[in-house]
Amino acid sequence: MAPDGTKDVNGCPRRIVAGIRERRQAVHELLSHGCPLRGIGRDLQLDYYTVRRHARTPDVDDLLVKVTSRRTLLDDFTPYIYKRFAEGCHNVGQPDLP
């Protein structure tokens, strides 16, 4: 089964996705207390524009679009890799199965 972009091949949330969700939650929590954007950036050690992007985006999924749809060098080979894994090949040194 192919990962959907938010989870790795083991089904666990990817670290970058979890980080974005946590940062957005922290920004919105501080905003609800009336903190200014620059103060939030200072407290969370984030750039002002990162804080602004998190504050202005209504849905966390909008922040994840770039991360979850990013192309990788392996994209052209993933169907083959998943096929081999399903066939039981879990080691690059294993020979091709008949």
Q: Model pTM? A: 0.63
Helix, coil or strand: residue 1: coil
Does the pLDDT at position 73 exceed 90? no
**Residue 83's pLDDT is what?**
87
Residue 97's pLDDT is 55
Q: Determine the pLDDT at residue 9.
A: 66
- For the segment 25-52, the average pLDDT, to the nearest whole number, is 96
CB 63 within 8 A of CB 24: yes
- DSSP character string of 33-86: TT--HHHHHHHHT--HHHHHHHHH-SSHHHHHHHHHT---TTTTTHHHHHHHHH
